[in-house]
């Protein structure tokens, strides 16, 4: 691969406080690509672009640029609200990933479905957001409770840090349901957790009413929503990484998302490899979740 044909302005400062340059971000994704691609390949990709780094202006872009190279695939998806087709890019190989990063894309925001089954998600997500004054540590018991119920229903979840203060649980599912079904499945379980843990969690959509609780954002399963995928950098100081976790770590509670960033993640990967390497080995039926009352 001739990176000189893909990369421009490599010395642009992307993380000013940490002296992390564009070339450092590209190098990170180049070296991490083999771990990343199994999760994001063939998923409609939404570009969150930071052309001047995290201190500059950023913007979201769904439509693939007209100047995009032929090796970057695209898929047309109908948006009913806007009454138009949008041509989303999707990544199939390392070269495509690096081209997007060169456009100022720091985060990996993808749909929960793959081409060609766009309308049938193959991942169910539980997005845990701690509202102030809570922190990441407050997400851990909630995540464990979610997993306990999922296991009783015959499903397994895979945990990771969000890269910010929150936590994500991904469940690989059979792509035979629509987004309304998966959203309802997630809601059913989140509602059950709310009943068991009303002092700790909330489903409240009004932000000011969530104070002091962990928000369970089941709506991230809705059509058109995207999630940050494993090993994505986040546009925050120190360039944190959305990092796969062991359930043992979640149980012990001796972890902090601040531990995992563009400079420190390599020691963890060297020690554990990709903790989600078996993620695609089994897909689960969400029928038990749809039947929850």
Write down the domain spans for the chain: 10-40+114-293
What is residue 293's predicted lDDT score, i.e. its pLDDT? 76
- By the 10 Å C-beta count (0-12 exposed, 13-18 middle, 19+ buried), 115 is classed as middle
Question: Does residue 4 carry a pLDDT above 90?
Answer: no
Q: How far apart are CA 55 and CA 63, in angstroms?
A: 24
How would residue 264 be classed by pLDDT, with cut points 50, 70 and 90? very high
pLDDT computed for residue 68 by the predictor: 97
Q: What is the pLDDT of residues 133-152, one digit of tens each?
A: 999 999 999 999 999 999 99
Q: What are phi and psi of 38, to 5 degrees?
A: -60, -25
SS3 state at 253: coil
Would you mind telling me the total number of residues written for the chain in this entry? Answer: 293
Q: Please work out, in degrees rounded to the nearest 5, the angle formed at the alpha carbon of residue 236 by the alpha carbons of 267 and 16.
A: 95
Would you say 112 and 121 are in contact if contact means Cβ atoms under 8 Å apart?
yes
On the question of pLDDT at 2 being above 90, the answer is no
Measure the CA–CA gap between 41 and 277, rounded to whole angstroms. Answer: 14
What share of the chain has pLDDT > 70, as a percent?
100
Whether the predicted pLDDT of 6 surpasses 90: no
pLDDT higher than threshold 80 for residue 286:
yes
pLDDT at site 236: 98
What pLDDT score does 145 carry? 97
Model confidence, pTM = 0.97
Across the chain, mean pLDDT equals 97
Would you give the DSSP letter of residue 45?
E
The CATH architecture of the domain made up of 10-40+114-293 is Alpha-Beta Complex (3.90)
Instruction: Give pLDDT tens digits for 181-223.
Output: 999 999 999 999 999 999 999 999 999 999 999 999 999 999 9
From 126, 125, 133, select the one nearest 213 (Cα to Cα): 133
Across residues 40-68, what is the average pLDDT? Answer: 97
Locate 26 and state its tokens: 């590209």
Do the beta carbons of residue 96 and residue 73 sit within 8 Å? Answer: yes
Query: Could you give the CA distance from residue 129 to residue 104 in angstroms, rounded to a whole number?
Result: 26
- Least Cα distance to 20 among 241, 228, 213 occurs for 241
The model's confidence at residue 270, banded by pLDDT at 50, 70 and 90, is very high
Q: Check residue 3 and give its pLDDT.
A: 73
User: Residue 103: CA atoms inside 13 Å, Cβ hemisphere, count?
Assistant: 24
Distance, in Å, from the CA atom of 167 to the CA atom of 76, rounded to the nearest integer, reads: 31
């Amino acid at each position: 691969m001739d990176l000189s044909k893909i990369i421009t302005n490599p010395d642009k400062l992307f993380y000013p406080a940490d002296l992390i340059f564009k070339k450092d971000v590209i190098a990170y994704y180049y070296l991490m690509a083999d771990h990343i691609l199994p999760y994001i390949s063939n998923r409609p990709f939404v570009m969150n672009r930071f052309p001047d780094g995290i201190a500059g202006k950023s913007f979201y872009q769904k439509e693939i640029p007209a100047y995009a190279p032929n090796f970057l695939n695209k898929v047309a998806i109908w948006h009913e609200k806007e009454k138009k087709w949008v041509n989303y890019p999707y990544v199939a190989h390392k070269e495509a990933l690096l081209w997007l990063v060169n456009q100022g894309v720091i985060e990996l925001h993808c749909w929960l479905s793959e081409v060609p089954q766009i309308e049938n998600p193959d991942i169910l997500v539980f997005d845990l957001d701690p509202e102030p004054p809570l922190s990441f540590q407050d997400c851990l018991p909630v995540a464990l409770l979610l997993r306990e119920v999922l296991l009783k229903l015959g499903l397994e979840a895979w945990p990771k840090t969000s890269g910010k203060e929150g936590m994500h649980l991904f469940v690989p599912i059979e792509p035979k349901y629509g987004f309304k079904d998966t959203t309802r499945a997630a809601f059913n379980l989140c509602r059950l957790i709310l009943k068991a843990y009303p002092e700790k969690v909330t489903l409240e959509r009004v932000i000011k009413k969530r104070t002091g609780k962990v928000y369970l954002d089941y709506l991230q399963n809705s059509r058109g929503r995207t999630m940050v995928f494993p090993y994505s950098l986040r546009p925050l100081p120190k360039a944190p990484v959305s990092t796969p976790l062991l359930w043992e770590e979640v149980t012990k509670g001796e972890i902090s998302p601040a531990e995992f960033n563009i400079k420190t993640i390599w020691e963890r990967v060297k020690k554990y490899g990709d903790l989600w390497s078996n993620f695609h080995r089994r897909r689960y039926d969400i029928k038990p979740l749809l039947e929850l009352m």
